[in-house]
Amino acid sequence: MSGANVQTQSTTSIHTEQIQGVVERLTFASPESGYSVARLKVPGERDLVTIVGSFANLQAGQTLKLIGFWRDHPKYGTQFQVTQYTETKPATLTGIEKYLGSGLIKGIGPVNAKRIVTHFGLETLDIIEYQIDRLIEVPGIGKKRVKMISLAWETQKAIKEVMVFLQSHGVSTTYAVKIFKQYGAAAIATVTQNPYQLATDIYGIGFITADAIARNLGIAPDSEFRYRAGIVHTLGEAAEDGHCFLPHAQLVLQAKERLKLADYQPDEDTIASLIFQMGMEDQLVMQGNQQHRFICYQKPFYIAEENLAKQLQSLLLRPLEVDGNRVSNWLDRYAQATNTVLSEAQQLAVQMAASQRMLILTGGPGTGKTFTTRTIVALWKAMGKSIALAAPTGRAAQRLGEMTGIEAKTIHRLLEFDPKTMGFKRNQDNPIAAKAIVIDEASMLDLFLAYSLIKAIPSDAQLLVVGDTDQLPSVGPGNVLGDLIDSNRIPVVRLTQVFRQAQSSAIVTNAHRINQGQYPKLESVSPSPQSDCLWWGAPEPEHGVQAISDLLVDLIPKWGFNPMTEVQVLCPMTRGVVGTRNLNGVLQQLLNPASPEKAEVVRGGVTFRVGDRIIQQVNDYNREVFNGDLGTIVAIDSEEQEATIQFDQRLVNYDWADLNEIALAWSISIHKSQGSEYPVVIVPLYMTHFLMLSRNLFYTALTRAKQLAVIVGAPKAIGLAVRQVKDKERYTLLAKRLGNSMMAIAHHSTEDEK
């Protein structure tokens, strides 16, 4: 089958040659571009030949006819630069066996490949192509396996067609499998008709990629498809920055900028007209003396924000009668029985949790949020209430359960997500089966999760929301915890007193210093440190990488911690020498190096290996694995083309096509660490991170450490992080919808909503 013609550079003045051989091994492959480096066994050549170029789906064992030219790479020596290629069937038994056993076809690994080739010899590929049912003749291969191989063979042929088509139109090979899974036989037709649909349907493909495909297909720059996709993309980018809407004028300007090409200027009037036609919820906002302005939502954002406010108002309006004296007496007995003394603020929180429909409990580290929450749960239990506990992440839920002695779930599991309907089973018609509900780590709640949660709160239940407003806001759109507090409609108890036992922790005291804009007091790293908050000065990023390596290999084990399971490196950014991408490669080699006993698979230029720590990068409702969940790869099966990952106590299987949903997690971003705690945290801070450095970022990173925090970097970066307050305003109206500070909101409905 012919691959796509690939022109890597002008060859008009370069002498081209043709060579043929069998791919011995794949050295590097980038799914984003198809660019690959491989070693080719060429008949008559003693040494393997290095080939480089772009390929649709290069695998070991493939027999290729290649057209290209020789070049000398200054570092890697002589290479054959491929400009065109054609795949032919392997001609030798060894080639056929290597080809089949390469992992190209699900259901055939090295063992079954050997069995099949031993049985059918040189006729193997013809048998698979035309008489695949005869595989039942091979010892050890049953009907179920034959069916799997047959389906995989047909799918592989179809995927190759899609790959070649996409590559010929300038799109990468990364998403070919996902595109085929999404559209099946209609893949090429869908992409041809409206490539912008890919940005809506396929995770990882955005407007920019879809737009490049569209241009290659000849779709006009003023196409309505393109304009609509650009508007949606602009609002999507705003949502990634935390916004629920954009002012109308800002949306028009940003969409115009996104739709602009070197030879084309979009029309503002057309954009504005389409925004109206698309049913973007236009709100006329009148605040104080401000001039009127239109603001534009994607419809789901408007519905979620408006109805979240209504659901909360409905909950708050229901009266609740409680005997305050009985609560006070119980609290006295509880304090005596547990030999504890509650502060005035803690006592107030317990009494209000007993008498209010909803209470927000907030405060920094060491102020007693945990003990107060545990006391409230004990009170509710004594009152005979059925209790449900939840948090946004698995780690936070596990910690909440351990703290209270009652099982806690992730919010997604509490709401019982149904993959069939892609929605939650628990809602206003089927509420959570509890009369008292605790939601911890509420700073992580985004607009949509908060709306789904509040919809499912029974009308006669009570809700305790616990969170730290000084942490980073949610990764998703909205500023829910901050808005709930700012509305002045929901009772709030702030815990500010740092208790004596917490004052002995430099992590706690430094977190409060950072929060107050003061430089933290850090003890220099030494063989026998006396503090739980340490500093390793390493002036340049390269020094920082070495310092982190030395900590993990030498000092941290001496301090009694396991680098494999108890240490998390948290970075402000993904890019750069001390970004998560580079550090993950370094730390993987350090902590989980390659060995014959560890299976591995390469995807997107990243090697995933048994024993690797990984992080989920997107909500996967079918697997019930969510953005930010950490796991460990426990098995890789090249025959089934599956990786098995353990998340807490659950084993989850990933098809290789879905491995772009995960990333290595020896190092993760500080944003991704929200809701989690680790025994040891290492935080590199450098001026190369200046775009991200802020007080709440540093504060969030430091408060992830339970027993030890080590800051590595340059003092100047710490000073900048402490000084910079980047609480960038998010466009959200939840506080105003919920409160009374807004003078008016006039809603202009679109016709289909009336």
Strand (E) or helix (H) holding 170: none
| Three-point CA angle 432, 435, 437, nearest 5° | 70
Q: From the CA atom positions of the chain, what is the Rg in Å?
A: 29
> Using an 8 Å Cβ cutoff, are 150 and 105 in contact?
no
Q: Helix (H, G, I), strand (E, B), or coil: what is residue 522?
A: coil
Residue ranges for the binding site for ATP? 366-370
**Cα-Cα-Cα-Cα dihedral sign, residues 513, 515, 519, 523:** positive
Six token digits for residue 415: 């709401």
**Adjacent-strand bridge partners of 88:** 63
The DSSP secondary-structure symbol of 314 reads H
The DSSP secondary-structure symbol of 552 reads I
Q: Helix (H, G, I), strand (E, B), or coil: what is residue 283?
A: strand
What does the alpha-carbon distance between residue 520 and residue 538 come to, in Å, rounded to a whole number?
Answer: 17
**Amino acid found at 304:** A
Residue 26, class by beta-carbon neighbours within 10 Å (0-12 exposed, 13-18 middle, 19+ buried)?
middle
What does the alpha-carbon distance between residue 10 and residue 432 come to, in Å, rounded to a whole number?
Answer: 65
User: Cβ contacts of residue 45 below 8 Å, gap of 6+?
Assistant: 21
**Cα-Cα-Cα-Cα dihedral sign, residues 113, 119, 122, 127:** negative
**Cα-Cα-Cα-Cα dihedral sign, residues 99, 104, 109, 115:** negative
How many CB atoms sit inside 10 A of residue 318's CB?
Answer: 10
**Adjacent-strand bridge partners of 52:** 37, 81
> Using an 8 Å Cβ cutoff, are 369 and 443 in contact?
no
> Using an 8 Å Cβ cutoff, are 652 and 659 in contact?
no
Residue ranges for the binding site? 366-370
Closest CA to 706 of 682, 684, 677, 683: 677
**Cα-Cα-Cα-Cα dihedral sign, residues 746, 751, 752, 754:** positive
Strand (E) or helix (H) holding 197: helix 197-201
> Using an 8 Å Cβ cutoff, are 353 and 376 in contact?
yes
What does the alpha-carbon distance between residue 458 and residue 431 come to, in Å, rounded to a whole number?
Answer: 5
User: Cβ contacts of residue 85 below 8 Å, gap of 6+?
Assistant: 3, 6, 53, 55, 64, 65, 66, 67
Six token digits for residue 365: 């580290």
Six token digits for residue 486: 């700012």
**Amino acid found at 497:** Q
CA 694 to chain centre: 22
